[in-house]
Amino acid sequence: MASIFTQIVEGNLPCHKICENDSFLAFLDINPIKPGHSLVIPKKEVDYLFDLEDDLYRGLMAFAKPVAEAIRAAVSCQRVGVIVAGYEVPHAHVHLIPTESMADFSFALARRASDPDLAKVAESIRQQLPRVQS
């Protein structure tokens, strides 16, 4: 069965999209550690990040960079942190998490966010993308 993220890629499940291209998609985590917590995925379904072909791995990280900059511009934070976990969804992904300190690197802080709140944050991140990409 297709992963939850493949179902999102194929349009069979909704997401709060930030941006996409032919190979990658960035969208909000529905259980954010902090508002703006995003996931960046390759559209190709591969379970383990470090099993990605080199080009896809490098492409994923390059795709994540402006997304992280847009998150930082949209959401007040010291740094956008990166976590790679993959214990819940077997489809390679990188968590981009607005953080103020090491204490924010904790999934114990994750809380389900409402759709209106997610929509608002996604819009504010999307608005920053053209600025960080120029």
89 makes contact with ligand AMP (CB under 6 A): yes
Tell me how far, at minimum, the Cβ of 65 lies from ligand AMP, in Å. 19
Q: Does 87 bind ligand AMP (CB under 6 A)?
A: yes
Is 47 or 53 the residue whose CB approaches ligand AMP more closely?
47
- Catalytic (active site) residue 93: yes
Do the beta carbons of residue 39 and residue 26 sit within 8 Å? yes
Identify whether the C-beta of residue 35 lies closer than 8 Å to the C-beta of residue 104.
no
Binds ligand AMP by CB under 6 A, chosen from 9, 15, 96, 113: 15
39-78 footprint of ligand AMP as x/- string (CB under 6 A): x---------------------------------------
Q: Minimum CB separation from ligand AMP for residue 28, in Å?
A: 7
Return the range that interacts with ligand AMP (CB under 6 A); candidates 24-32, 44-52, 62-70, 73-81. 24-32
- Contact in structure between 31 and 23 (CB atoms under 8 Å): no
Closest CA to 99 of 120, 62, 66, 68: 68
Terminal Cα-to-Cα distance of the chain (whole angstroms)? 39
Closest C-alpha among 28, 17, 39 to residue 114: 28
Report phi then psi at 76, rounded to 5: -70, 120
Catalytic residues: 93
